Structure 1
Amino acid sequence: MSGNPIQIIPRWSTDRGHADHGWLKTFHTFSFANYHDPRHASYGALRVINEDRVAPGTGFGMHSHQHFEIFSYVVGGQLEHQDSMGNTEVLSRGALQSTSAGTGISHSEKAHGPEEVHFLQIWALARPGDGNKKPAYFTRNFPDEEKHNRFVTVVAPDNSSSVSLSREDKGPAPIRSELWMHASLIDPGVSLVHGHVEKGQGQPRKGYIHLIQTSGYNSGKPGGNAIRIGSKSSAEDSKVELREGDGAYLVYESHDLEVTNVGQGKAEVLLFDLD
């Protein structure tokens, strides 16, 4: 994009795949289920971002996965998880549940209690060879105050020095993929700068950003919260404004990303670093 050292390609919420099944209201950033668009099949290791709302007393019954790294980020309500490894738990706002499917697992994800559960299910491609390892399961919790006006790393490669391989612990959940996920809650008027992970001399790094649709399911237009993104050194008119549900593909050359909340309410943001 001219005038912006970071290449930004918006992924507008109104262009995402979406469906209202009654019990499930969902948006698909990438091709998934009955939604297929070859322009939006994956990006680096990132394969799926589904923003799901599941009605009380319903959910995804027991089903199987192999090879992928699958993690859920809970925005509201309570998510009940059960799987073939014997894990059973209820996850609330701020919880991050991660499963390395490996050679194969079965799991169910359902709304627990009287309220709808709003969560993002994200899939990443495992590193070559790592998709055939024994399945693994991890949970982490990131309270709102921890993410307030700062980016907190909530998922990181399992070979990173910052991760613990304990089932429950502090810090990011480990995955067998070259992907980092950061989360933040940004107050109106606040700007954050994210220093992307360096790939090497002259080698650009990919990224992706998503503004969570916290004001409710809306398939016709984005919600009210908004952020403006671009390089800190860029002119304001070359930056890109995203509203709830919008995302953007990023290519970093040599600059960091500035994210500014230009809306009226708190902006809940997910930011990915990709190989």
Structure 2
Amino acid sequence: MAIGSQTAPGRMQFRFRPSEERGGDDHGWLKTFHTFSFADYYDRDFVQYGPLRVINEDRVFPGQGFPFHRHQEAEIFSYILSGELSHKDTMGNVETMKRGDVQMTSGGTGIAHSEYNDHPNKEVHFLQIWARPSQRALKPQYYTRHFTDADKKDKFAHIVAPVGYETVKDVREADGPTPVHAPLHFFTSLLSPKADPVTHNVLPRFNPVEGSTDKLVYLQVVQSSGYSIEASKKDGSGALIKVIGNNGQETILGEGDGVFVDGAVEGDVVKVENIGEKVAEVILFDMDA
């Protein structure tokens, strides 16, 4: 089956988006891809998806980074894939994050921060993700969590969940999901070749709305093979997964590819199978529509 093919229409609809259609650029010190409109990249069809506003897949060279800059009214988290990322902010938080670390900055009424790769010779590869907060004028907050590769091996680890969700501890450091002030859940998995498929059962709406049961799901495969993945797609050396809905709809994703799942409801099932020869790092968002 070709990448992006779909079958069996139903209420839950898949919309495939290849990596090559994302925005982004090679700035020398920063190599980046944008799933949604960001900076100089604008596509009116990809401005946000539910509360999800930004997914940037960034690679920052040693000794480079983002100087102090201000944010407000945004939930901003960094998920470290490899290398090290050093964070400083105007609340006094100073931290160097490594693979598996999640750092959440709840911008609220306003905060300034910087993020640098202070390692002398290793690139840092991370996802920068923004969500729209459910409430404005919140007090700025900072959270950190860590998840090992074992936590994610051949299962979905619950990385981020809304403040008030049953497993969320609204403190700076703790076990369990990182708090976010938005109706958004973030999961990750490391899928081994030939392993049994993993499943995600769509969660209930976090903010119930009378007459509305709609949920949104989005999946994307991390570009583990590097910034340029065209060769790995052509020769099959990159990660490759199949995503299957409970209505029989399916699509195949290579590295950097994503699929938007519209019209999902609580209890729908999304199954993910590694059909390649390489471990696939997969991210999944489950959100209120």
Would you call these one fold, judging by a TM-score over 0.5? yes
Structure 1-normalised TM-score? 0.94
Q: Deviations over 1:183-208 (max 9, x none)?
A: 11010123111001134787231111
> Does 2:51 align with 1:45?
yes
The 5-angstrom pairing of residues 164-175 of structure 1 reads: 164-175=169-180
Per the alignment, residue 215 of structure 2 pairs with 205
Shift of 1:247: 0.7
> Does 2:27 align with 1:21?
yes
Per the alignment, residue 117 of structure 1 pairs with 124
* Alpha-carbon separation, structure 1, partners of 2:192 and 2:9: 24
Of 63, 67, 70 in structure 1, the residue corresponding to residue 69 of structure 2 is: 63
Residues 222/175 of structure 1: CA separation in 2 closer, same or farther (3 Å cut): farther
Per the alignment, residue 239 of structure 1 pairs with 250
* Alpha-carbon separation, structure 1, partners of 2:99 and 2:183: 26
Per the alignment, residue 261 of structure 1 pairs with 274
Q: Note if contact 1:209-1:271 (Cα within 8 Å) is conserved in structure 2.
A: yes
* Alpha-carbon separation, structure 2, partners of 1:203 and 1:88: 41
The 5-angstrom pairing of residues 115-264 of structure 1 reads: 115-127=122-134, 130-190=135-195, 191-199=197-205, 203-218=213-228, 220=230, 223=233, 224-232=238-246, 234=248, 238-251=249-262, 252-253=264-265, 255-264=268-277
* Alpha-carbon separation, structure 1, partners of 2:92 and 2:116: 16
Shift of 1:11: 1.5
Shift of 1:7: 1.0
* Alpha-carbon separation, structure 1, partners of 2:136 and 2:15: 30
Q: Identity of aligned pairs, percent?
A: 44
Is the deviation greater in 202-211 or in 88-97?
A: 202-211
* Alpha-carbon separation, structure 2, partners of 1:153 and 1:29: 21
Residues 202/167 of structure 1: CA separation in 2 closer, same or farther (3 Å cut): closer
Q: What letter is aligned with 1:93?
A: R
Q: How many residues align?
A: 270
Shift of 1:172: 0.4
Structure 1 residue runs of 5 or longer lacking an equivalent are none
> Does 2:105 align with 1:95?
no
Q: Note if contact 2:8-2:247 (Cα within 8 Å) is conserved in structure 1.
A: no
Residues 125/100 of structure 1: CA separation in 2 closer, same or farther (3 Å cut): same
* Alpha-carbon separation, structure 1, partners of 2:126 and 2:272: 22
Secondary structure of 1:242's counterpart equals strand
* RMSD of aligned alpha carbons: 1.6
Q: What letter is aligned with 1:206?
A: L
Q: Note if contact 1:27-1:52 (Cα within 8 Å) is conserved in structure 2.
A: yes
Q: Note if contact 1:222-1:245 (Cα within 8 Å) is conserved in structure 2.
A: no
Residues 4/256 of structure 1: CA separation in 2 closer, same or farther (3 Å cut): farther
Structure 2 residue runs of 5 or longer lacking an equivalent are 1-5
Per the alignment, residue 17 of structure 2 pairs with 11
List, as ranges, runs of 4+ consecutive aligned residues in structure 1 with deviation greater than 3 Å. Answer: 199-202, 219-223
Shift of 1:103: 0.4
Shift of 1:131: 2.8
Structure 2-normalised TM-score? 0.89
Shift of 1:132: 0.7
